[in-house]
Amino acid sequence: MKIPRVFVYALLLATPGPTIAAQSATDCGTTEEVLQHYRNALGGEAAIAQVHSLLIRAASAEPHTFNEASTAHSRYRLEWQAPNRIRVNRQYLLSPATIIFDGSDWSLYNGRVSHNEDSTPAWRRKLMSLPYNDYPENQEFRMMANPLLLVGVQQLYRRLELSTGGPGECVLQAWGTSEWGRERRDYLAFRVDTGLLRSWQIQAGRPGHETYMEFLFDDYRPTGSITIPYSVYFDFYRAAFRVTSVIVNPSLSESDFVPKP
């Protein structure tokens, strides 16, 4: 069952966000040079452009849940199809689930069409469709199903600028619009030596009560012609994901991404 959005906000208020680095920035060049270094580190623009689908299996431990034992050994099968369709099969003790994102809306946990947002105004639903405005759990699914998601950071955000960062990292401030129609500011930290993304800090919460959630990326490995993180940590749920296998450009059925009526 999806956690009610009001409860998500309560968790956000109770969970302190990570401290934003405030040391002098390393000489990282321009914003575009940082992003080009990142694209090159992932395999290069040509290789990335050839990725049209992914099939990823992963394990996860998520202690920040209603029943810690139930998610101690979660297993995921995640399908992604360009440009942004997702299917998640999750196995754990309490309730196996199938969640589908058809490119516009998320299904219920049984793979059926959801009407949870039917009464939400169209303008807000459009803003909620942006990855950084989604429910935290759906943000996990987006990031794990498509580790190349932030290659398109310039399309996700309105403006990007170099910011201060700790030693050995290049930090970009990313301006966007929150689901409430207000300005939001997120942060992406890249390693100077490799160019790879180290963290993504996402502003969240009701207006006046904003805090930050954070993804941490590690253990990057070559997978076919691209390189992706095999270790992903999401502090909102204290969820530690370990990728166990990746198939690049598998043949996926169109019906996998269509929720049942």
Cα–Cα distances in angstroms (integers) from residue 86 to residues 77, 82, 94, 206, 255, in the given order:
11, 9, 22, 27, 11
Domain assignment of residue 256, yes or no = no
Residue 56 lies in a domain: yes
Q: Supply 76's token pair.
A: 């995921």
Q: How many domains does the chain have?
A: 1
Q: List the CATH number of the domain containing 242.
A: 2.50.20
What is the distance in angstroms between the CA of the first residue and the CA of the last residue of the chain?
Answer: 17
Domain contains 260: no
**Nearest Cα to 79, choosing from 89, 71, 69?**
89
Share of the chain above pLDDT 70, in %: 85
pTM of the model as a whole: 0.87
- In DSSP terms, 155 is beta-bridged to none
Cα–Cα dist 261/236, whole Å: 32
Q: Give 179-191 pLDDT, tens digit per residue.
A: 999 999 999 999 9
Could you give the CA distance from residue 172 to residue 217 in angstroms, rounded to a whole number?
Answer: 16
Q: Is the pLDDT of residue 194 over 60?
A: yes
Q: Which domain holds residue 194?
A: 5-249
pLDDT of residue 22: 40
**Structural domain includes residue 105:** yes
